[in-house]
Amino acid sequence: MDYFRPRSVEEAVTLGQSPGAAFLGGGTDLVLQMRQGKVNPQCLIDVHNLAELKEIRRNGDVLELGSMVTFSEVSDSNLLQDSARALWLAGQTMGSPAIRNQATIGGNLGNGSPAADAIPALLALDAEVCLRSQAGEEVISLAVFLERYPLLAPGTLIWKFLVPLRGWQSGFAKLGRRRALAIARLSVAVALKTEGETVMDLRVAFGAVGKRAFLSPALAARFIGRELDVHWRTEMISGSQELVRETLKTRASAPYKAVAVGGVMHQALMLLQE
Amino acid sequence: MNEAVVGTRIEREDGWGKVLGETHFPADVNRPGELYGAVLRSPHAHAHIRSVNVRAAAALPGVVGVFTAENVPHNAHGVLFRDQQVLVSECVRMVGDPIAAVAAETEKIAREAIARVEVDYEILPGLFDPEEAMKPDAPALHPDMHGPSNVLYHLPIRRGDMQAGWTKADVVVEKEYRTQMLDHAFLQPEAVLAYVDERGHLVVKVATQYAHYDRGEIAHALGLKYSQVRVKTMAVGGAFGGREDISLQIIAGLMAWTLRKPIKMENTRTESFLSHSKRHPMRLYYKTGATKDGKLVALEAKIIGDAGAYSSWSPNVVRKAAIHATGPYEIPNVQIDSYAVLTNNPYSGAMRAFGAAQPVLAYESQMDLLAEALGLSPLEMRLRNIFHVGSVTATGQMLTSSVGMAKCLQALTPYLATKGDAS
Amino acid sequence: MNIELRVNEQDFRLVVEPDERLLDVLRNRLGLIGTKEGCGEGECGACTILMDGKAVNSCLVLAAQAVGHELMTIEGVGDRLHPHPLQKSFVELGAVQCGFCTPGMILSAKALLDRNSQPSEEEIKEAMSGNLCRCTGYDKIVKAVQRAAEEVAR
């Protein structure tokens, strides 16, 4: 096996053409999968320390998040706390402090777990993904990107995320089997725009319900243009329960998750910033 | 008794080594020239082994030795009964039963080699429900050692006159309770270093709860004299009962003795889960009667402990469950039957409280239900029946000192009156 | 591959495999056995070390990834003559039982105190949430961190 530590994204992408190449982020998933023999890359391209991939910055109306931003950096960021609260909240509860110090948001996407904590939050925030490969750059909505199978073509590097800054409120909550180090059994992210008491726009995303996190525009549509009051919240909770029941159908987890999502949704709504 | 230390803060002798990272647990010691051992374990719960082919494993470069049942001089161990094999010869009785072991130059090679051992299994239906396994027509799992029945142990306890007891009872509560299997999950997975020292003695460094027993078992299995075997207890990274049985000691000792090379072995967390004992899952059938003034008059209890594939400490554990079946309460008429039953589940053994933990669920739930039926507070129900000095237990033991339950509950009364008491 | 690691303020030149875990290099090549393996998958925290002052699970990091970072293991935290306040308080308050989780606990606590010398109980629990103690000595562990924080503040 070969190991490379490129000094630029360019170089990383070039190295990414090698046969059996895999990009290595924090390693909290990949190192374990290698040890378990689930993946056997012939060449590791360690991009974890690439400065270009580690930036959190505001660029006009857009927040740019490098793919190698760690969950600790997410949860320590005041900028994210104020302007991308759902993601900031996901950063608080993912794994343990030691995992958060290593694990990256790009790795979270690339690993492709249905329970990935950052993904529902980024979906609700309407993030775009910037990819880099030999073919060049590609900017694609995360929601559309998640419909690709396989997710990433060989040699494609997750470069950064673009999160539009629209002054929306957002929240995130997850259900785990214990408080720390729990893989999400369910997660919910909500982002909304209000004028006065009226919900003008809304995005709702779910994690660990099916193979990949997803947005539900149909659910959101029922709640736009209405007053954000106790009825709204109650119906959103029951609406999310119906949605999960329909999505999971006869899966063994359906009876549990279809009820539990109500509590998770409730919590996500409680965590919307004032 | 010297009570000077009670209530004072004593520093652990080994505390400093542990906070400085100096303490040696068995995974932390090595010998020059050591080989690395790994074990092939059965993925099946019940199977007949038709054949084991080790040729491909032995041919792997870096492999120094491959061992199967035929290499073990006396292939048996066990704390009460030697019903467990060091390496299984014919009959697999649980997932995780060891079948072959490899010594190789590196851990990687050893693990690659065990994956190349070919085992031809005839998979048999498993007995996973202890009540099914108790039935007279159930296939016997240990016919040679434990006879035609899977009931490994039965303890009946009888006191008083049940008929009279039920006659006096104004309220009877009858319920079934079940407790789950538990793993100790001690933080340090099993590890061992075995070597032959300059005097020709087999030295086995291990974290164990039972060094003198390990020594006897290693000596027995290898056909050595006790004086030829030394077991050195390293720092024990948690045990909670889970290190009372043999884990890797004999396998490592066998390879070190045969190859005359130091052997290092470490379980992964998964191997640890697969190989050591568990807390007995129990089924507890309770029928308890009380008079309308809240006095217990009769208890009929049937306790079935799932012993799993091997006996380990099962008789002692279910005996303790029976002795504690009344809880700390006076009951004049008692009929308790406690069983340990062999199944194809992971074997059950010692774990904190050793059988006394499981009946708590049953007898305390019964107390709450009786209190509710009688319109008493749960606390009052207990105070009316609690053991005092002079009480006689179900097994006929007269309690003569140190019976603090009533005092303890009374001290809690103010707290319970404000917060804890559901009534 | 050839790598250079900086561990406990010392530089080491090593030859390692590209897929070798930092945990194995620390234990097997550098003899720093105070770093423990409890689960090998980031669940238990026994392998916790500090990388640039932050707690990481050394079972989930490749040795190669640690190049260029400042590493600290339990052996670098203190010694018998100069123990860290955490080491002292863990011994004095009985926060050590079997001791297998202890190095990881102390390093997670050190990462916290270095960043926040006056943590609340909730912050301590959060910082230690990735470290399991199966002897269930959590209460004393939290108290030991509080005691050490007082001493650090003094």
pLDDT tens track for B89-134: 999 999 999 999 999 999 999 999 999 999 999 999 999 999 999 9
**What is the CB-side half-sphere exposure of residue B235 using CA atoms within 13 A?**
27
Gap from B117 CA to chain C (nearest CA, Å) = 25
> Which residue among C75, C79, C100 sits closest to B238, beta carbon to beta carbon?
C100
Q: Tell me the per-residue pLDDT of B7-32, one tens digit each, with 9 for 90 and over.
A: 888 899 999 999 999 999 999 999 99
**For residue C100, pLDDT beyond 50:** yes
pTM for the structure as a whole:
0.95
Residue B423, pLDDT score = 43
Residue C42 and residue A32: Cβ atoms within 8 Å?
yes
Alpha carbons B16 and A272: distance in angstroms, whole number: 47
Mutate to test the interface with B, among C134, C136, C140 (most CBs of B within 10 A): C134
Within-domain flag for A153: no
Confidence of residue B57 (pLDDT cuts 50, 70, 90): very high
**For residue A100, pLDDT beyond 70:** yes
3-state secondary structure at position A185: coil
% of chain B residues with pLDDT over 90: 95
Q: What are phi and psi of A248, to 5 degrees?
A: -85, -15
> Which residue among B19, B188, B266 sits closest to C91, beta carbon to beta carbon?
B19
Q: Where is average pLDDT lowest: A125-129, C21-25, C150-154?
A: C150-154
Task: Give the total residue count for chain B.
Answer: 423
C53 touches chain A (CB under 8 A): no
Taking contacts as CB-CB distances below 8 angstroms, the residues of chain A near C43 are: 181
The distance of Cα C73 from the centroid of its chain, to the nearest Å, equals 6
A5 touches chain C (CB under 8 A): yes
- Assign domain C2-76 to a CATH class: alpha beta
Alpha carbons B61 and B77: distance in angstroms, whole number: 32
Termini Cα distance of chain C? 46
> Which residue among B12, B188, B238 sits closest to C96, beta carbon to beta carbon?
B12
Partners of chain C (3+ Cβ pairs below 8 A): A, B
> Which residue among B11, B236, B269 sits closest to C91, beta carbon to beta carbon?
B11
Alpha carbons B19 and C103: distance in angstroms, whole number: 6
% of chain B residues with pLDDT over 70: 98
Taking contacts as CB-CB distances below 8 angstroms, the residues of chain C near B23 are: 99
- Give yes or no for a cis peptide into A19 (omega within 30° of 0): no
Residue A203, pLDDT score = 97
Residue C44 and residue B187: Cβ atoms within 8 Å?
yes
What is the mean pLDDT of the segment spanning A131-157?
Answer: 95
**For residue A229, pLDDT beyond 80:** yes
Alpha carbons B353 and B321: distance in angstroms, whole number: 9
CATH topology match: C2-76 vs C85-153: no
Per the rule left: phi > 0, alpha: psi between -120 and 50, beta: everything else, B396 is left
Residue A3 and residue C60: Cβ atoms within 8 Å?
no
Contact C104, C26 (CB under 8 A): no
**For residue B420, pLDDT beyond 60:** no
% of chain A residues with pLDDT over 90: 92
Domain CATH number, residue A260: 3.30.390.50
- Which residue from C minimizes the CA distance to A102? C56
> Which residue among C21, C64, C111 sits closest to A46, beta carbon to beta carbon?
C64
Where does residue A26 rank: exposed (0-12), middle (13-18), buried (19+ CB within 10 A)?
buried
> Which residue among C17, C62, C130 sits closest to A96, beta carbon to beta carbon?
C130
Fold of the CATH domain B151-183+281-420:
Aldehyde Oxidoreductase; domain 4 (3.30.365)
**For residue B174, pLDDT beyond 80:** yes
Taking contacts as CB-CB distances below 8 angstroms, the residues of chain C near B189 are: 37-38
Taking contacts as CB-CB distances below 8 angstroms, the residues of chain A near C68 are: 49
Taking contacts as CB-CB distances below 8 angstroms, the residues of chain A near C45 are: 96, 98
Partners of chain B (3+ Cβ pairs below 8 A): C
Q: What angle do CA B392, B325, B173 make, to 5 degrees?
A: 105
Residue B207, pLDDT score = 97
3-state secondary structure at position A1: coil
Number of domains in chain A: 1
What is the mean pLDDT of the segment spanning A96-113?
Answer: 96
Using alpha carbons, select from B314, B294, B288, B306 the residue that is nearest to residue B394.
B288
A182 touches chain C (CB under 8 A): no
What is the mean pLDDT of the segment spanning A240-250?
Answer: 95
- Which residue from C minimizes the CA distance to A2? C18
What is the mean pLDDT of the segment spanning B363-375?
Answer: 98
Which residues are registered as beta bridge partners of A193?
A201
Q: Tell me the per-residue pLDDT of B124-172, one tens digit each, with 9 for 90 and over.
A: 999 999 999 999 999 999 999 999 999 999 999 999 999 999 999 999 9
The b/e string for A69-93 (b: 16+ C-beta within 10 A; e otherwise) is: bbbbbbbbbeebbebbbbbbbbbbb
Q: What angle do CA B221, B224, B225 make, to 5 degrees?
A: 125
Residue B27 DSSP class: G
Within-domain flag for A187: yes
Residue C34 and residue B235: Cβ atoms within 8 Å?
no
Taking contacts as CB-CB distances below 8 angstroms, the residues of chain C near B9 are: 92-94
Residue B20 and residue C33: Cβ atoms within 8 Å?
no
**For residue A241, pLDDT beyond 80:** yes
Alpha carbons C92 and B8: distance in angstroms, whole number: 12
Residue A237, pLDDT score = 97
Within-domain flag for A174: yes
**For residue A274, pLDDT beyond 80:** no
> Which residue among C87, C132, C134 sits closest to B19, beta carbon to beta carbon?
C87
Query: Domain range spanning residue A178?
Result: 169-270
3-state secondary structure at position B233: strand
**For residue B66, pLDDT beyond 70:** yes
Helix (H) or strand (E) holding B91: strand B91-92
**For residue B255, pLDDT beyond 60:** yes
Q: What angle do CA A170, A172, A174 make, to 5 degrees?
A: 170
Tell me the domain boundaries of chain C. Answer: 2-76, 85-153
Taking contacts as CB-CB distances below 8 angstroms, the residues of chain B near C91 are: 11-12, 15-16, 19
Three-state secondary structure of A31-45: HHHHHCCCCCCCEEE
> Which residue among C41, C78, C93 sits closest to B20, beta carbon to beta carbon?
C78
C19 touches chain A (CB under 8 A): yes
Q: Tell me the per-residue pLDDT of C44-77, one tens digit each, with 9 for 90 and over.
A: 999 999 999 999 999 999 999 999 999 999 999 9
Alpha carbons A205 and B40: distance in angstroms, whole number: 45
Confidence of residue C136 (pLDDT cuts 50, 70, 90): confident
Confidence of residue A178 (pLDDT cuts 50, 70, 90): confident
ipTM exceeding cut-off 0.90 for this assembly: yes
Torsion sign across C-alpha atoms B164, B167, B168, B171: positive
- Which residue from B minimizes the CA distance to C86? B19
**In this structure, what token pair is assigned to residue A237?**
């909770």
C102 vs B241, C36, C49, C73, C96, CA distance in Å?
21, 9, 12, 12, 7
Residue B154, pLDDT score = 98
C64 touches chain A (CB under 8 A): yes
Residue B422, pLDDT score = 46
Residue B1, pLDDT score = 58
Helix orientation angle between C138-153 and C85-92, rounded to the nearest 10 degrees: 140
Tell me the domain boundaries of chain B. Answer: 151-183+281-420
**For residue A88, pLDDT beyond 80:** yes
Residue C137, pLDDT score = 87
- CATH number, domain C85-153: 1.10.150.120
C115 touches chain A (CB under 8 A): no
**For residue B270, pLDDT beyond 60:** yes
- Interface size A-C, in CB pairs within 8 Å, comes to 86
B419 vs B378, B414, B416, C43, CA distance in Å?
13, 9, 5, 36
**For residue B421, pLDDT beyond 60:** no
Q: How big is chain C by its Cα radius of gyration, in Å?
A: 15
**For residue A140, pLDDT beyond 60:** yes
Residue C61 and residue A35: Cβ atoms within 8 Å?
no
Using alpha carbons, select from A30, A31, A2 the residue that is nearest to residue A17.
A2
Identify each DSSP E strand in B309-381 by its residue range: 333-342
Helix (H) or strand (E) holding B254: helix B249-259
Where does residue A22 rank: exposed (0-12), middle (13-18), buried (19+ CB within 10 A)?
buried
Taking contacts as CB-CB distances below 8 angstroms, the residues of chain B near C87 are: 16, 19-20
What is the mean pLDDT of the segment spanning B397-416?
Answer: 92
- What is the average pLDDT value for chain B, to the nearest integer? 96
Taking contacts as CB-CB distances below 8 angstroms, the residues of chain A near C61 are: 26-27, 31, 102
Alpha carbons A214 and A122: distance in angstroms, whole number: 10
DSSP string, B153-213: EEEEEEES-HHHHHHH-SEEEEEEEE---B----SS--EEEEEE-TTS-EEEEE--S-HHH
B184 touches chain C (CB under 8 A): yes
- Which residue from B minimizes the CA distance to C106? B19
Alpha carbons A17 and A154: distance in angstroms, whole number: 8
Cβ neighbours of residue B396 under 8 Å, at least 6 residues apart?
B159
A211 touches chain C (CB under 8 A): no
**For residue A215, how many other CB atoms are within 10 A of its CB?**
20
Partners of chain A (3+ Cβ pairs below 8 A): C
